[in-house]
Amino acid sequence: MSLMQRVEKAQKGAAEQPPSANLPVPVMAPSVGPAKSSPGREELLREVRIRLQTEIVSAFHDLLDVPQAEVRERIGGIVDGVISRHDFAVTRDERLRLIEEMVHDVTGFGPLEPLLADESITEVMVNGPSHIYIERAGKIERIESVFLNDEHVLRVIDRIIAPLGRRIDESSPRVDARLPDGSRVNAIIEPLSLVGPVITVRKFATKPYTIDDLVRFGTATPEMFDFVKVCIEARLNLFVSGGTGSGKTTTLNVLSSFIPNDERIVTIEDAAELQLRQEHVITLEARPPNLEGEGEITIRNLLRNAMHMRPDRIIVGECRAGEALDMLQAMNSGQDGSLSTGHANSPKDMLRRLETMILMTGYDLPMRAIREQMASAIDLIVHTARLKDGTRKIVNITEVYGIDDDEILTQDIFVFEQRDYVDGKIIGELKPTGVRPTFMAQFKKNGIALPPGEFGIPPEDPDKPDRSLKSRLNTGDGTLVSIAKVLGVGAGKTVTAGGMVYVSSVGPVDPATSYLAGGTVKEQTRQCMVNLKAHLEAAGSSLEKIVLANWALRDPSEFDLFNEEWVRWFPADAPIGQLTMLPPMQRRAGFRVSLGVIAEA
């Protein structure tokens, strides 16, 4: 039985119920509605509505064919007919109210219509027919408006999802959709919901919020938006994290406005919500399965397709599952400056959630490999939160700057500092932490002039120049140096004493460029041997005079691969040695191997 058939059947049943049936009473326009009627009047109006609903359902399809300008007149006739036939005594204002409600039922979304039109309301929550809540100014409150019954709610859900080709029934009892204005809708019905049909509408402003709006709301200061603006212009990869209802999508929408107008942008979402104002934007939307359970197109499918569309940047509305892996790969393979969001309680929690999402792909990836991809791909996490007073703010701007001994390295650049709590309002601001990001040189590299004082970030220390610790950011004009050079590791140390030469900490760094020679253990071992040979010969020794070696590996399971390259350098028997683990600083620099030896002088 179709949804409309179920509704019509239920409405016929409702018409046969006696007037005393225990049904909720709709009271429209909760924000500016009429004065509350007496219980007796509400009982009368409830009975009128029951009769009208039956009439409207039976005439529903005919009313849809009527020109929009005539709908109100036709519905007025139905209302007058019902009032006359049953001899209902209603006032003029009550009659006009009844007509307005029925018009909303036919041409709009019933009791939701005035709530959706109220710009002060940011969220609408229907918990069954008789409980409707709204969010206004960050606070949730219950309102008087209600639906007649479950079937009344189901009819509104059907009006929302039918134009999108989506469905909801016992076999598929939940659905995500969007309203014509872009507002996001989630609906869930029995048997999953035990309180009746549930609708949640996340409203979006008719006019997209701007930086000025968010500054006025206190989300962040103009200086902070200026900082994030130059980060996006410098093509840093950015995640917006936060809890449910913290303003992630709104923040992402505003931040995406900083992308230059001459770039090709591909947006990918479950339900299209982003409102980009650039000219060259391709909007892709995932598709659920059809009635036969076929034809589903996921965000992962769209992400893979987007890679063939020559994007300059990719924006994923939200990473929830395996698409996180595809997003990281896109960020690591030419789509620098991409953006996405994710649910998390803190920036570090966002990284942990991404790990979990990647594991959801089913690929048997080592955790080290997952974290290396994350550390390389993500540059900045902008964390949003809904505070105790209902306000939404950016509370952290956190840099992801590398990996150290399997731990992703992060540092807060800006943190929200609460100073006081006055009259139910949190007083505070986003302040610099005194930490200088490692990517500051990227701004100059991209020709971006920073304001005096550089957003309150400490000035560059001549002894510790700005250097990104990511190889992805260390390519191009040669003005940046390698991680190994920044950390001061891999060059090797030589000491001659007592007729012996001691060489230690020889890493896989090409001395001509200061960059790693390769990514595999065999490539790095080969460069280590070249460097070791040069050290020994400079001290008057050679590879043939080695008497003892020390091999430091990141992963002991790679010893056989390392040994294949090691023995190749010795025409006779290769020297014996001992195996140790790489120290943290060399691991952080990306080493898979380093060498130390004792040789005859």
Q: Compute, in degrees rounded to 10, the torsion defined by CA atoms 239, 245, 247, 253.
A: 80
Q: Please, which residues have CB within 8 angstroms of residue 201's CB and are 6 or more apart in sequence?
A: 112, 116, 123, 124, 125, 179, 183, 184, 185
Of 202, 223, 252, which closes a domain? 202
Question: Is 283 a member of any domain?
Answer: no
Edge to edge, the sheet with strand 491-497 lists: 491-497, 500-506, 593-600, 546-553, 577-581
Instruction: Check whether residue 65 and residue 145 sit in a common domain.
Output: yes
Q: How many CB atoms lie within 10 A of CB 20?
A: 9
Instruction: Check whether residue 246 and residue 384 sit in a common domain.
Output: yes
Expressed in percent and rounded to 5, the helix, strand and coil fractions of the chain are 35, 25, 40
Comparing C-alpha atoms, which of 154, 145, 126 is closest to residue 49? 145
CATH code for the domain of 568? 3.30.1330.40
Report whether 70 contacts 62 (CB < 8 A): no
CA dist., res. 323 & res. 342, Å (int): 11
CATH code for the domain of 323? 3.40.50.300
Question: Is 317 a member of any domain?
Answer: yes
What pLDDT does 4 receive?
47
CA dist., res. 35 & res. 408, Å (int): 59
Instruction: Check whether residue 251 and residue 341 sit in a common domain.
Output: yes
Place of tokens 């683990």: 581
Place of tokens 């992703």: 408
Instruction: Check whether residue 266 and residue 320 sit in a common domain.
Output: yes
Instruction: Check whether residue 243 and residue 366 sit in a common domain.
Output: yes
Instruction: Check whether residue 331 and residue 222 sit in a common domain.
Output: yes
How many domains is the chain built from?
Answer: 3
Instruction: Check whether residue 216 and residue 194 sit in a common domain.
Output: no
Report whether 532 contacts 580 (CB < 8 A): no
Report whether 132 contacts 125 (CB < 8 A): yes
Q: Compute, in degrees rounded to 10, the torsion defined by CA atoms 128, 134, 140, 143.
A: -70
Place of tokens 């900490």: 505
Instruction: Check whether residue 11 and residue 105 sit in a common domain.
Output: yes
What pLDDT does 84 receive?
81
Quote the DSSP letter at residue 110.
Answer: G
Q: Name the β-bridge partners of 594.
A: 552
Instruction: Check whether residue 190 and residue 220 sit in a common domain.
Output: no
Place of tokens 């390698």: 482
Question: Is 368 a member of any domain?
Answer: yes
Say what the pTM is. 0.68
Question: Is 302 a member of any domain?
Answer: no
Instruction: Check whether residue 69 and residue 179 sit in a common domain.
Output: yes
Question: Is 98 a member of any domain?
Answer: yes
In DSSP notation, 174-199 reads EEEEE-TTS-EEEEE-TTT-SSS-EE
Place of tokens 């020889």: 506
Comparing C-alpha atoms, which of 236, 212, 200 is closest to residue 116? 200
Which parts of 218-280 are beta strand (E)? 238-242, 265-269
In DSSP notation, 2-40 reads -HHHHHHHHHHHHHHS-TT---------TTT-PPPPPHH
Question: Is 245 a member of any domain?
Answer: yes
Question: Biggest alpha carbon distance in the chain?
Answer: 119
Of 176, 202, 228, which closes a domain? 202
Q: Are strands 238-242 and 380-386 parallel, antiparallel or unpaired?
A: parallel
CATH code for the domain of 85? 3.30.450.90
Instruction: Check whether residue 349 and residue 238 sit in a common domain.
Output: yes
Using 70 as the pLDDT threshold, list the residues of the chain that sit under it. Answer: 1-40, 57-66, 68-69, 405, 463-487
Question: Is 475 a member of any domain?
Answer: no
CA dist., res. 261 & res. 138, Å (int): 33
Report whether 507 contacts 588 (CB < 8 A): no
What pLDDT does 62 receive?
64
Question: Is 470 a member of any domain?
Answer: no
Q: Please, which residues have CB within 8 angstroms of residue 257's CB and are 6 or more apart in sequence?
A: 210, 211, 276, 277, 278
Of 408, 440, 456, which closes a domain? 456
Q: Which residues of 159-197 are buried (b: 16+ CB within 10 A; e: fewer)?
A: bbbeebebbbeeeeeebbbbbeebbbbebbbeeebeebb
Range of the domain at 418: 211-278+307-456
Instruction: Check whether residue 157 and residue 222 sit in a common domain.
Output: no
